[in-house]
Structure formats: structure tokens, C-alpha cells
């Protein structure tokens, strides 16, 4: 008894004097705290800058590739072959000075090409069938077509001399030694004043549209995970405790296809992602068998971790079994809930997030056969439209806890993948696409946690082109 | 701080408003620093704990649900931070000898005036294990069962550490012979 009194006395002396003691800390502490807290905020503009820079870079790259592709000499049938123009004056005397010279912009060509040009030009001169004397000074220059004279596959077809509209002189097709045909255009006075384009004589030029389009749908399982940058004990703790989540996603797509190899995909996608906190403990009412949920608290619950123990008795019903220091908190929590009223039960805490995304993905077809392979790269703007936390106990009880706070609604993610396809018909494709998505901005802006989740999915579906 | 004010300050702090963060810090820093001084070995360590604890508090501010005392919540953060720090520095993992401590003889009227600073100095002279157990039990009000879980020791060890700490402190009190209420450190309450 005397010993207890002495104990209480010592405790009381210290408690009375120290429990509410107020000691002004050095000013440097606030400066350090302020720096750490504001430092976290300063990350935002940088992240935003990176985001904008990455988006611009992608747009510029995509645009550049597209423009380069559009500016290539059109059509595979002429690709790699020279396109020549020739000046064909019927009579030098009748020729208005300089009129032809202004028609074209001349450019030099390689020696071999020039030789073939000469041959065909000469041939053309010999076969000039209406007896008009060809000029001896006819230049054997190779003239690249002026921009406005670039010939689209559609235009090229009507560019046969026989198809030239209007009355007057027609220049018949002439075979050259290289198997090229002569094609020309007549001026208003029936003189051949325009360029001469040599096209393969025997080759049938097919009419193909510049673009085709298609629609498709895919769906499949996906695995999502987040690995937090370790900045504090808390983030290290979460990394150790969390595991990825297996879920699903899918999309409806619209394709615009340029020729055979390049296409752009957009549309709308849906993804369910998340992560699972393991090593949790839930508290179940022994009497009723119910988890200690608080209906009256609506969506409110307390996720207890990170050295921040749950303070409220009422809201606390699930917690990390261990705090970041590794201490088992179960007994500590039970004392708040009331000994003998609740029992602890092993559980997992599942966080899931649902996104809709508008993707913009460039596909480049590396293998273009019945079995095809695409390389895919792009970005997506995704909107978080729902989030949920739920607890699942080891013995199968499940309870939805509520929505999650501190998440960004608008996000930007990158998209990289490989697409495999198999042609089932002329325009019908079966697709299977392993695709990875990575959130460029932190999805969470809560408590200094910068979560950049990634999603890996294997989607399969069909596409049809029109 | 009244709850509506507190809610407003917390909301503004979460939005990154510096003045609100400073107000929150100012409202709590004095008492939290005193707490840290009790758990730390020296003032430098106390400052570190205070700093780390406040950073953690601001980082986790969104988790506070206004369902209990905000100061109590922050106090627990500070205690946990001190605990983590001592554990990290291996002060608490050394084996603690379980001794059957004999109480010191006789009780003196030591309550006669000792300053808070004197008492703090006495606590800080204790070994980390004794200091932690004494603080948690005698001042924070944790039970031996809770302390045993927090420190990964048996309840018996917690009890014996407490007894030992009390004995040392009682001895120190006995050695003091100062008038009441001098050299109060800080504002005092």
C-alpha cells in the first residue's frame, strides 16, 4: 500500500507539472516544417510542366510523323521511281518565249535517272504523230512536279493521255525501253504544255482511298499496382503492405487508317483499377457477428496507419495490424472498442478506382499479313468517376466502407503496347493487345502520397474496317 | 481552439494556405515540444522529433475525421514518432533486463517546489527504455499491456522498467531541495 502510494506520488508530481507543459520551440523547427510542407506543394507546377511538355512532345511527334507520311510520293506503285516532266513544244516558232519555262520548277536528278529520262524523251519525240516538228533544243531536263501537280492516286488514273478531256491533239501512250508510258496534258490551244509524267506502262494503278476507318471493341483482364516513391516511413510501410489488384477493362474504339501501316485509335475506355492493403485487422461484434461498421457515419471510416492511430472509438473498425514501427495495434484498438465486445479478424482492405478514358493511340503495323503485329503508343485523358474502399475478411465477410478522398478526378496517362491481329476476313480482324498504362500525374494528392499507378492489361476483341 | 475555427484552419491548411498551417503549428507547438522533450535524450533530438511529427501531421491532416480531440491525435503522432525514432536508433531493441526491483526506502516530501525544467531534466537522464515506459504510463496514461505491444516487450518488463524509472526519479527528487515554481521553462500553464 505504501509502495503504491509512493508510486502514485512520483507519477503525480511529474504528470501535474509536465502533462500540459508548454515550451516554445526554436523558430528553426517551423522553418524546417514549412519547407518540407511547401516543398511538397512545389512539386505540382513541375509535375504540371512535365505533363504539358510530354503532351506537347507527343503531339509534335505524332504530327511530324503524320506530315512526313503525307508528304511522301504518293502510292506504293510509284514509290522509289522518278517522276519526270518534260517540255513538249510543238513549234519553237509558235512558242511564246518563256511560257514553258514558267510552268515548271526544274531540278537535277541522278545520272542514271537522267539517262532514262533522255531515252523516254527521245522516244516521245520520234513518235510525235501529227508531223509537227519537234524542237531540236528540247531540253532533256528532269522536272519535279510542282506542288500543285502532285498526283494523287485518284488523279493519276485520269491522267492517261487518252482521258484528257477536250478536243484536239492527243498524245498516244508510248512505251519506252524502261517500260514507261508517256502521259501528258494539253493546253487550251491543244499544245502539249504541261508536264510529262512517266508511269509504269503495264502496271495497273488501283484506286484506293487515302483513308479508311474502322470500329472495334476489346475487353480483358488487367493488373494494377502502385509503387510509391519512398519519401517517408509511411510510404515505405505502404509499399510493403500493399499488393496489386486484378480487375478488368475494355474499350470501344474508332480507327482512322492511313494506307496499310499507320492508324490512329480513339474512343472510350473503361478501367477498374486499385490496390489491396494486406495485413489488416477488422473488428467484429462478438454478439451479432457484424463487422464494426457505422451506418450512421455514412461513407466515413477510418483507415488507420502511418503512425497516426485512429482516435475515435466509433469510427474505428479496421486498421493496419501493425503500425509503421511494426507494433501490433490489435490490442490497442480493442481497448478503445471495449474489451469483450469485439473480436479481431484478419482482413484485407480493397481500394478500387473506376476510370473512363479517351485514348489517342498511334498504331504502326510492323507485320502486315494475315497475322499482323502493331506497335502502339499514345496518351489518354482519364476521368475518375467512382472510387470505393471495402473490407473483405479472411472468412469471407464483405463490407463496403465508402468512397475515397484525396484523389484527382482528371488524369493523364501514357499508353504503350503491342497489338497482335489475325485477319478473319477482308476487313475483319481479331485483336489481342497487351497494353500498359502509366499515370503521368499522381492520382492521389492526399497526405503527400504521390501514387502513379500502372495498369497492365491483355485485351482481346474484334475490329472491322470500312 | 473552437471546433469551427479548427475545421476552418484544417481545411485551409489542407489547401496549402501557409497562414493556416502556421496557425495550426503555433496552437500546438508549445505543448508538443514539451512532450518531445520528455521523450528525447536532449533538445536536439526533441527538435527533430517535433519537426518530423509536424511534417507527418501535415501530410496526414486529411485523415483526421473530427471525431475526437485534434490535440490528442497530434499528441499520438508525436509519441509514435518518438517511438519510431528511438527504435530506428536502436535505443529500444537492446535487451531489457528484467529485474525484481526493490523499492527505494522511505518517501520524502519531494513535491516541494521543483520546476518543470528540473523534472524534464530528470526524465531525460533516464535510459531510453525507462524514459519511454515512464512517459507512456505515468504521463500519457497507457496501460502496461499497451506499452508492451508498443515496445515489443512483455508486460512484466514494462512493469519492472516503470518501477525502476520511478525509483530513479524518486531518488533524484529526494536529492533536490528547491523552492516551488522557479525557473519555469516556457509559458507554463
Residues of chain A in contact with residue B58, where contact means CB-CB under 8 angstroms, are: 33, 36-37
Residue A392's nearest CA partner among A225, A188, A254, A245 is A245
Q: Output the nine-digit C-alpha cell for A392.
A: 473483405
Is A35 within 8 Å of chain B by CB?
no
CB atoms near residue A90 (< 10 Å)? 20
What's the pLDDT score for residue A290?
58
How much is the average pLDDT of B89-93?
49
Q: Domains in chain A, please, with CATH?
A: 40-69+209-465 (2.40.160.20), 105-200 (no CATH)
Residues 6+ apart with CB under 8 A from B23: B9
Question: At a CB cut-off of 8 Å and minimum separation 6, what does A299 contact?
Answer: A401, A402, A403
Nearest to B55 among A33, A41, A332 (CB): A33
Q: Determine if residue B121 is left, alpha or beta; phi over 0 gives left, psi from -120 to 50 gives alpha, anything else beta.
A: alpha
Asked if B33's CB is within 8 angstroms of A25's CB, the reply is: yes
Q: Are A391 and A399 in contact (CB under 8 A)?
A: yes
Q: Identify the weakest region by mean pLDDT among A236-240, B111-115, B140-144, B177-181.
A: B177-181
Question: Average pLDDT over chain B, rounded to whole?
Answer: 75
What is the full per-residue pLDDT of chain A (466 aa) written as tens digits?
566 676 777 888 888 888 888 888 888 889 888 887 775 444 344 455 566 666 677 776 676 666 666 655 544 333 333 333 343 333 344 444 444 434 444 344 444 443 444 433 334 444 444 444 444 444 444 444 444 444 444 434 333 333 334 443 343 444 434 433 333 444 445 454 444 444 454 555 555 667 788 899 999 999 999 888 877 766 777 788 789 999 999 999 998 887 778 889 999 999 999 888 887 777 776 666 655 543 323 333 343 333 333 333 333 456 666 665 666 766 766 665 666 677 778 888 888 889 999 999 999 989 888 899 999 999 999 999 888 877 788 887 777 766 776 778 899 999 999 999 998 887 888 999 999 999 998 887 665 678 889 999 999 999 988 8
Q: Which of A6, A30, A233 sits opposite B84 (nearest CB)?
A: A233
Q: Which residue of A has its CA nearest to B49?
A: A29
Chain A, residues 234-263, CB within 8 A of chain B, namely 234
Which residues have C-beta within 8 Å of that of residue A173, sequence separation ≥ 6?
Answer: A160, A161, A162, A181, A182, A183, A201
Cell of A60: 509534335
pLDDT at A83: 36
* Local structure of residue A339 (DSSP, 8 states): T
Tell me how many residue pairs between chain A and chain B have CB atoms under 8 A apart.
184
Q: Tell me whether residues B51 and A309 touch, CB distance under 8 A.
A: no
Burial profile B12-48: b = 16 or more Cβ within 10 angstroms, e = fewer: bbbeeeeebbbbbbebbbbbbbbbbbbbbbebebbbb
Helix (H, G, I), strand (E, B) or coil at B151: helix
Interchain pair A11, B166: CB under 8 A: yes
DSSP state of A409: S
Give yes or no for a contact between A267 and A254, defined as CB atoms under 8 angstroms apart: yes
For the question of an ipTM over 0.85, the answer is no
| pLDDT (0 to 100) of residue B113 | 62
CB A315 within 8 A of CB A300: yes
- In a mutagenesis test of the B interface, which of A2, A307, A407 is the best target, namely the one with the most B β-carbons within 10 Å? A307
The pLDDT value recorded for residue A449 is: 72
CB–CB of A119/A177 below 8 Å?
Answer: yes
Residue with cell 461484434: A285
DSSP character for B135?
I
The pTM for the full model equals: 0.41
**Domains recognised in chain B with CATH numbers:** 3-88 (1.10.1740.10), 95-189 (1.10.10.10)
- Cα–chain center distance at A410: 15
Q: Which residues of B touch A20 (CB under 8 A)?
A: 31, 189
Task: Note whether B152 contacts A327, CB cutoff 8 Å.
Answer: yes
Of B47, B139, B150, the CB nearest to A327: B150
For chain B, state the CA radius of gyration: 18
Partner A contacted by B171 (CB < 8 A): no
Residue A14 CA: distances (Å) to CA of A360, B103, B119, B124? 67, 18, 7, 12
| Closest residue on chain A to B37 (Cα) | A23
Amino acid at each position: 500500500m505504501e509502495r503504491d502510494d509512493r508510486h502514485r506520488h512520483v507519477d503525480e508530481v511529474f504528470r501535474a507539472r509536465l502533462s500540459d507543459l508548454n515550451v516554445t520551440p526554436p523558430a528553426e523547427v517551423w522553418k524546417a516544417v514549412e519547407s518540407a510542407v511547401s516543398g511538397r506543394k512545389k512539386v505540382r507546377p513541375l509535375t504540371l510542366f512535365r505533363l504539358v511538355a510530354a503532351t506537347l512532345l507527343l503531339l509534335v511527334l505524332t504530327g511530324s510523323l503524320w506530315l512526313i507520311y503525307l508528304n511522301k510520293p504518293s502510292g506504293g506503285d510509284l514509290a522509289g521511281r522518278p517522276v519526270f516532266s518534260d517540255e513538249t513544244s510543238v513549234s519553237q516558232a509558235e512558242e511564246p518565249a518563256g511560257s514553258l519555262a514558267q510552268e515548271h520548277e526544274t531540278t537535277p536528278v541522278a545520272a542514271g535517272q537522267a539517262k532514262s529520262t533522255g531515252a523516254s524523251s527521245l522516244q516521245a519525240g520520234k513518235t510525235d504523230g501529227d508531223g509537227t516538228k519537234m524542237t531540236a533544243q528540247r531540253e532533256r531536263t528532269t522536272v519535279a512536279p510542282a506542288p500543285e501537280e502532285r498526283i494523287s492516286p485518284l488523279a493519276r488514273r485520269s491522267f492517261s493521255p487518252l482521258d484528257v478531256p477536250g478536243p484536239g491533239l492527243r498524245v498516244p501512250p508510248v512505251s519506252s525501253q524502261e517500260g514507261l508510258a508517256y502521259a501528258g496534258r494539253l493546253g487550251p490551244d491543244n499544245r502539249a504544255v504541261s508536264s510529262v509524267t512517266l508511269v509504269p506502262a503495264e502496271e495497273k494503278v488501283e484506286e484506293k482511298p487515302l483513308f479508311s476507318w474502322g470500329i472495334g471493341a476489346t475487353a480483358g483482364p488487367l493488373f494494377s499496382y502502385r509503387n510509391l516513391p519512398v519519401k517517408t516511413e509511411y510510404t515505405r510501410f505502404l509499399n510493403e503492405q500493399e499488393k496489386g489488384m486484378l480487375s478488368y477493362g475494355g474499350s470501344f474504339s474508332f480507327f482512322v487508317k492511313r494506307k496499310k501501316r499507320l492508324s490512329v485509335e480513339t474512343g472510350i475506355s473503361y478501367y477498374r483499377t486499385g490496390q489491396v492493403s494486406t495485413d489488416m485487422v477488422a473488428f467484429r461484434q462478438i454478439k451479432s457477428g457484424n463487422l464494426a461498421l457505422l451506418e450512421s457515419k455514412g461513407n466515413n471510416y477510418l483507415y488507420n496507419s502511418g503512425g497516426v492511430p485512429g482516435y475515435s472509438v466509433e469510427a474505428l473498425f479496421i486498421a493496419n495490424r501493425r503500425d509503421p514501427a511494426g507494433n501490433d495495434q490489435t490490442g490497442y484498438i480493442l481497448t478503445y472498442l471495449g474489451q469483450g465486445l469485439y473480436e479481431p479478424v484478419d482482413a484485407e482492405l480493397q481500394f478500387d478506382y473506376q476510370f473512363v478514358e479517351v485514348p489517342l493511340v498511334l498504331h504502326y503495323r510492323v507485320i502486315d499479313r494475315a497475322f499482323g503485329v502493331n506497335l502502339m503508343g499514345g496518351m489518354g485523358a482519364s476521368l475518375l468517376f467512382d472510387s470505393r474502399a471495402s473490407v473483405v475478411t479472411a472468412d469471407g465477410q464483405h463490407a463496403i466502407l465508402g468512397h475515397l478522398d484525396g484523389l484527382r478526378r482528371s488524369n493523364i496517362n501514357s499508353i504503350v503496347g503491342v497489338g497482335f491481329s489475325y485477319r478473319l476476313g477482308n476487313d475483319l480482324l481479331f485483336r489481342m493487345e497487351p497494353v500498359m498504362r502509366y499515370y503521368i500525374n499522381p492520382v492521389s494528392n492526399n497526405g503527400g502520397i504521390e501514387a502513379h499507378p500502372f495498369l497492365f492489361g491483355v485485351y482481346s476483341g474484334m475490329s472491322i474496317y470500312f | 481552439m473552437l471546433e469551427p475555427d479548427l475545421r476552418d484552419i484544417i481545411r485551409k491548411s489542407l489547401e496549402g494556405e501557409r497562414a493556416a498551417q502556421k496557425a495550426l503549428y503555433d496552437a500546438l507547438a508549445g505543448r508538443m515540444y514539451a512532450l518531445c522533450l520528455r521523450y528525447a535524450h536532449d533538445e536536439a533530438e526533441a527538435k527533430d522529433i517535433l519537426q518530423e511529427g509536424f511534417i507527418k501531421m501535415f501530410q496526414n491532416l486529411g485523415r483526421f475525421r473530427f471525431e475526437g480531440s485534434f490535440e490528442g491525435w497530434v499528441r499520438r503522432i508525436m509519441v509514435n514518432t518518438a517511438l519510431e525514432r528511438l527504435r530506428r536508433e536502436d535505443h529500444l531493441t537492446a535487451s531489457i533486463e528484467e529485474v525484481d526491483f526493490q523499492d527505494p526506502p522511505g518517501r520524502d516530501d519531494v513535491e516541494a517546489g521543483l520546476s518543470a525544467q528540473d523534472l524534464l531534466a530528470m526524465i531525460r537522464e533516464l535510459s531510453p527504455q525507462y524514459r519511454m515506459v515512464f512517459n507512456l504510463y505515468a504521463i500519457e496514461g497507457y496501460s502496461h499491456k499497451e506499452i508492451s505491444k508498443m515496445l515489443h516487450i512483455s508486460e512484466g518488463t514494462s512493469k519492472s522498467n516503470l518501477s525502476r524509472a520511478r525509483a530513479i526519479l524518486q531518488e533524484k527528487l529526494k536529492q533536490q531541495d528547491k523552492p516551488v515554481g522557479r525557473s519555469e521553462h516556457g509559458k507554463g500553464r
